[in-house]
Amino acid sequence: MKKLLPVLAVLIGLAAPAHAQGTLSIAMNIQQDANGRPLAGALLYLYVVGTLATPEIAFQDVGLTQALPWPIAADQVGRLPNFYIPSGSVHARLTDAVGNVQFDYPNVLVIGGAGGGGGGGPTVDPSSIATTGDIKFRLTKEDLSGWVKLNGQTIGNASSGAVHADPSMQNLFTYLWTFCSEAHCPLSPGVRGSSAVADFNANKKIQLLDMRSRMVAGRDCMEASCAGRLLATNVTSGGTDSVDTAAASGGQANKTIALAFLPALSLPVSVSVSTSGGNHSHNATVSGGVNGGSSSVNATYGTGGNNANFPSPPATVTVSIGNSGTLNMSGSGSGTASLNGGGTPLPVENPFLLGSYYIKL
């Protein structure tokens, strides 16, 4: 009987390992893209269920003592290595070698865990209903788990010095690196290198798009015939941006009205000058009248406080003197009319309600 006790102890030890663990069905399997091509160098990200900031570390051994790198990398034929993780549920996300998401499952039951019941995590991870790069708007300003605000700040890994510096930023970093141009989402220090993963691991940071005080509009063509609703002059972000460039920007909240934007107008102008007191002398060439022939005379009028209306200079004046000695004047003048506006820019912004734009990690 005593001889059997060591044997029973060994059997019990094999049947009940020190740590409850299991694996996922993708372990030791070749991962493929949508066209059936092996995903060489694919990356498997495991997170604690309900988070995108807490990695779930996988191990090489059933005792969960020999940790694997995070994320787990597939080999050159796309095969993931064998791995073990604590029993329960896990958030699993697979990307290709440059970070394009292939699948994202917020709650996967670990296979072979002791007790078989799983970890009892939530059936839906609220932060994973959307996928990386999705944008949503809220009429609030709170911080959301799994999202960052589109406010022109930077993201990167924990050593990048970015405003949002955390391993959970990798998928969004890769998304922006791939689909947002250097002009709109600049990388620092330097520019884009060989791959998004390489730049992320090199402690670079990338700038988020900036939705502060901005509304969104559809591209004018969007892989169809162009609508023609936007003009080239509406786009002010410069460079090679056009009305169909993703993330191009333009417009303005108010505009000063220049003369070129006003309709053609013909405004009636009447100029009347009233004079009083003193003498007013004008030299004129007089034809006929009391002098006969033509001669130059000095015509004086408006004395003794009498008023006389005359065109403002410059003017062409014709003077005639009749036998009665009456002085008659007529003429024409030119000038400008002023519209006494204040020059305040005209508001052109549509009515709005303020909130916050978020982008999915």
Looking at the domain assignment, is residue 38 inside a domain?
yes
| 199 and 245 fall within a common domain | yes
Q: Of 129, 157, 172, which residue constitutes the final position of a domain?
A: 129
User: Residue 83 has what pLDDT?
Assistant: 94
User: Residue 340 has what pLDDT?
Assistant: 74
User: Residue 335 has what pLDDT?
Assistant: 60
DSSP H or E segment with residue 318: strand 315-321
At 77, which CATH number? 2.170.14.10
Q: Which residue range is the domain that position 77 belongs to? A: 13-129
| 92 and 237 fall within a common domain | no
| 178 and 89 fall within a common domain | no
What tens digit of pLDDT does each residue of 328-354 get?
A: 455 555 566 677 778 888 888 888 899
Among candidate residues 196, 206, 199, the one with its CA nearest the CA of residue 163? 206
Q: Of 106, 129, 152, which residue constitutes the final position of a domain?
A: 129
User: Residue 6 has what pLDDT?
Assistant: 41
Q: Of 101, 129, 157, which residue constitutes the final position of a domain?
A: 129
Looking at the domain assignment, is residue 226 inside a domain?
yes
State how many domains the chain has.
Answer: 2
Among candidate residues 126, 247, 242, the one with its CA nearest the CA of residue 183? 247
Among candidate residues 172, 85, 159, the one with its CA nearest the CA of residue 127? 172
Looking at the domain assignment, is residue 322 inside a domain?
no
| 114 and 32 fall within a common domain | yes
| 179 and 113 fall within a common domain | no
Looking at the domain assignment, is residue 243 inside a domain?
yes
User: Residue 34 has what pLDDT?
Assistant: 84
User: What single-letter DSSP state applies at residue 35?
Assistant: T
Enumerate residue ranges in the chain where pLDDT < 70. Answer: 1-20, 113-129, 267-337
What are the start-end ranges of the E strands in 57-96? 72-73, 85-86, 89-95
Looking at the domain assignment, is residue 113 inside a domain?
yes
Among candidate residues 131, 76, 138, the one with its CA nearest the CA of residue 100? 131
What tens digit of pLDDT does each residue of 163-208 get?
A: 999 988 998 999 999 999 999 999 999 999 999 989 999 999 999 9
